[in-house]
Structure 1
């Protein structure tokens, strides 16, 4: 198949990483994949390294030049499927396709759990303009159906799949030695873009009052909240107990070095990639019920689930895992087993490939 992804966002996070990972997997399966995005977007810099054809277009805003550019591309190139990802490019692609006689099938992937406004325009976009809607979690799928009136048969939950061979348990001491982390500390870690709704500040607040000199919080990632978090750590005198290490590409090694993974998100989540990665590494995790997290975080079975925006609950969960090595081991083993059953990269590719084929087939009949 000839597949075109569109992405209007000029940010960087799990959404962009999924597009690249999924696209590279489809290319490996013999499909032709291109990406249309603003030339200044971070994903534009990364796309060639993943084998994608990059098509720079002015689609960062809902404006006429972007619509014209996308319409021109779709009229000149015969794509089988257009897979859109953000609101802006979804609207531009839907309008472009609606104005063409022989348009490709439109698949709208919705990555986040923010509410969808109940408007006639959204009902058109989701229920009529899109051949299929893909969500990254079952609760997001139910939200789309409930708020847009879309046919349930054309709304599919396909969580982001992770490479279970790359993200796997490994020797913790070796990982720490390679990263320069102390061998004798109990390390709670988080790997996530520093956005407000990821809940980093509550995690720092949770660690601050704990009287445990061996406890160390390691924060991997960068983003809009970097300065605020650095200030929070400095103001609290926590420099020896909290480390912000910035953006890293060697994510598996960091996860393999942790004792516990924490992700206290309180909004906008599907099934977070970082949490799946941590679970596949066999880490006991502390998280919340935000978005579709409940599909992998089963309280007391595959993770400890705490209330959102609750530093005291986070602290209690950290102390519980600190004191109970057997619980840490059982949660980590169960987490990996659960994620191997449906949250791997190959599972995602199989299901996305099926959606693309069905969308393209429906277009051919039309």
Structure 2
């Protein structure tokens, strides 16, 4: 693997040390490691270990600086052929996120602190995996930033035990106890709390010394001067030593009787705590954030309330005056470090995250509507899964079709977007796009190819966006392809997009997935209609798309066909349609002399699939149930008029198409422009009956038929 880490600077601190440790370990394990930062005193140490360093001002919060650094970092990612970029702070996080999109590189973050849940910190939630050093930070990222729990990875920081040698319980210092605090000097770290606590006990503990290791960040020097003044006012000037930044932290720790971490706010972890525990120094820390997870009060350290000098003074006195307590604490703490907080464990866990992220892409497939077209997308779903077996596959569709995929074995997730209610709202579009970005889409495949899906694909942040470029928004598909002048079957038409996305083999088989309870519901429904044992069922779909009046076969033809099927073939007719067509079904039943089974509006989507599966033949116009029947293998008699069966007939063997092919057809008009509707009116019920009988005969359901097919030119096989 080739891993790039990016952080503001490489000066002292737990984040910086952890970055260097990880980079060195990656090189030792045979990987390539690159670090981008604003520079610092740890750079020489880093480069000495064989890690490449790029010095860029990735710490500046100026928007223009961030903008200019994005392209520079993207160029580094390409030049270094990076597999993954790992951001460890917010400004570098913004830069790395957009650079990773430009370079097509995976993006991971580590959250090292408690962030404000809005605005500038949001980029830390955008990693394909968000690494946290403690459970408290993990909860913070899920509850305040909405990071899915499955994207959080808990990896505590680790200490190199070779560099922090176990000294055992320290023999009491005859000159007085030495207490230390190590870390960046800022108001949040609580140095003044420690100084005030020492002011309460200095006279009771002769020889007491305090060592403060670290410096204030640039621009915060005033705070450090204030600490010196505070120590002087409390009469502690000679006892408090400011040592500045030090590279010999292990040696400093060996000379301490106790380490104090008086931070005021929750911290992600506290690396210096486990370093002290590795050496054998007892720790007293504030009961906040990750510190309360590292330290078991009274067993591996002592915890105190933050910003409470009196309690801190009491615990310091208690600890340094009790050798047995020290022995218990340091022994248990060292054992815990050896089992939970070693550098090797941290490196191995981080490598597992990298391998997990690089092991499989996340692919978003857009197919919003309509039902028939959604069904025609099922081969594409299967082909993508076959080509990308380790990928996370997410389907984006409309709410009415989500249930159709609840049992689909190829999908990891179905997301629904109601374009009728939400699509007109920019706020709703932005909210849904944010949900898409949380999935860290690597590749989008647009099978809808309209303005909405082009925009959603772009807003998802997917670096590779495939589909047919249509209209102006087609330019948002950076991997889009042009249309074809020749007419292609629907699945073949989709396959051209899949081919561009890396799918190698066309497999046009349609699939649908139901649950056992769907079949049971249909069995109960048919039993309630007194169908008897092993009935011959002929499905007749009376509906069509609400705006496609031109696709509807005349109602009187349906009634005549129903009676012909019942009287001549002895079969039961089952009428299907959606809820809006219930009134039409009742009127049609009144026109019939035989009694049909009315299933119109009585099934939900997956139950309809099971109902159509039970038909011996299904008569249907160019509508969604046509594709359902083709998918489940029910023989079809398809009635086409204003649309072209070459473009819309689903694949499958043994189906029949009735299509007059008159001069004005296909017109693709929702209402017949010539008012005669001859393309469908010229398909007579007797013709349909003969085709139904032929299909039944092939299934062995009719013997010694008295009917014959007199005009085979009327029947076209779409085999």
So what's the TM-score if we normalise by structure 2?
0.46
User: Structure 2: how far apart are the matches of 1:257 and 1:60?
Assistant: 35
Q: Which moved more, 1:148-157 or 1:310-319?
A: 148-157
**CA spacing shift, 1:109–1:237, aligned 2, 3 Å:** same
Aligned 8 A contact 2:169 2:326 in 1: no
Instruction: Establish whether residue 94 from structure 1 lines up as the match of residue 94 from structure 2.
Output: no
Tell me the residue number matched to 1:15: 15
Query: Which of 194, 199, 207 matches 1:203?
Result: 194
Tell me the residue number matched to 1:232: 230
Q: Which moved more, 1:162-171 or 1:203-212?
A: 162-171
**CA spacing shift, 1:59–1:126, aligned 2, 3 Å:** closer
- Segments of 5+ residues of structure 1 without an aligned counterpart are 177-181
Tell me the residue number matched to 2:134: 137
**CA spacing shift, 1:314–1:157, aligned 2, 3 Å:** same
Instruction: Establish whether residue 70 from structure 1 lines up as the match of residue 69 from structure 2.
Output: no
**CA spacing shift, 1:267–1:72, aligned 2, 3 Å:** same
Tell me the residue number matched to 1:59: 58
Summarize deviations over 1:72-114 as a string: whole Å, max 9, x none: 22333321110011111111111222234xx111111111123
**CA spacing shift, 1:291–1:276, aligned 2, 3 Å:** same
**CA spacing shift, 1:279–1:10, aligned 2, 3 Å:** closer
Summarize deviations over 1:270-301 as a string: whole Å, max 9, x none: 11111111111122211112221112111111
Tell me the residue number matched to 2:519: none
User: Structure 1: how far apart are the matches of 2:198 and 2:229?
Assistant: 15
Any idea what SS the aligned residue of 1:300 has? coil
Instruction: Establish whether residue 304 from structure 1 lines up as the match of residue 315 from structure 2.
Output: no
Aligned 8 A contact 1:112 1:136 in 2: no
Aligned 8 A contact 2:10 2:16 in 1: no
User: Structure 1: how far apart are the matches of 2:302 and 2:262?
Assistant: 11
Any idea what SS the aligned residue of 2:197 has? helix
Aligned 8 A contact 1:264 1:287 in 2: yes
Deviation at 1:193, TM superposition (A): 2.0
Deviation at 1:163, TM superposition (A): 1.1
User: Structure 2: how far apart are the matches of 1:85 and 1:335?
Assistant: 27
User: Structure 2: how far apart are the matches of 1:334 and 1:264?
Assistant: 22
Tell me the residue number matched to 1:179: none
User: Structure 2: how far apart are the matches of 1:151 and 1:209?
Assistant: 47
Instruction: Establish whether residue 256 from structure 1 lines up as the match of residue 254 from structure 2.
Output: yes
Tell me the residue number matched to 1:313: 311
So what's the TM-score if we normalise by structure 1?
0.88
Deviation at 1:204, TM superposition (A): 0.8
Any idea what SS the aligned residue of 1:162 has? coil
Tell me the residue number matched to 2:207: 214
Tell me the residue number matched to 1:81: 84
Aligned 8 A contact 2:10 2:43 in 1: no
Instruction: Establish whether residue 191 from structure 1 lines up as the match of residue 185 from structure 2.
Output: no
Query: Which of 156, 159, 164 matches 1:159?
Result: 156
User: Structure 2: how far apart are the matches of 1:196 and 1:239?
Assistant: 20
**CA spacing shift, 1:90–1:353, aligned 2, 3 Å:** same
**CA spacing shift, 1:278–1:45, aligned 2, 3 Å:** same
Deviation at 1:330, TM superposition (A): 0.8
Any idea what SS the aligned residue of 1:21 has? helix
**CA spacing shift, 1:36–1:165, aligned 2, 3 Å:** closer
Q: Which structure: larger Rg?
A: 2
User: Structure 2: how far apart are the matches of 1:337 and 1:172?
Assistant: 13
**CA spacing shift, 1:58–1:149, aligned 2, 3 Å:** same
Aligned 8 A contact 1:9 1:86 in 2: no
Aligned 8 A contact 1:188 1:260 in 2: yes
User: Structure 2: how far apart are the matches of 1:205 and 1:340?
Assistant: 34
- Segments of 5+ residues of structure 2 without an aligned counterpart are 218-222, 362-389, 392-441, 443-719
Deviation at 1:350, TM superposition (A): 0.6
TM-align CA RMSD = 2.5
Q: Which has the higher contact order (CA 8 A, sep 6+)?
A: 1
User: Structure 2: how far apart are the matches of 1:288 and 1:81?
Assistant: 36
Aligned 8 A contact 1:172 1:257 in 2: no
Tell me the residue number matched to 2:320: 322
User: Structure 1: how far apart are the matches of 2:169 and 2:340?
Assistant: 26
Aligned 8 A contact 1:111 1:270 in 2: yes
Aligned 8 A contact 1:283 1:335 in 2: no
Any idea what SS the aligned residue of 1:107 has? strand
Deviation at 1:33, TM superposition (A): 0.4
Deviation at 1:168, TM superposition (A): 3.0
Tell me the residue number matched to 2:704: none
Tell me the residue number matched to 2:105: 104
User: Structure 1: how far apart are the matches of 2:10 and 2:253?
Assistant: 27
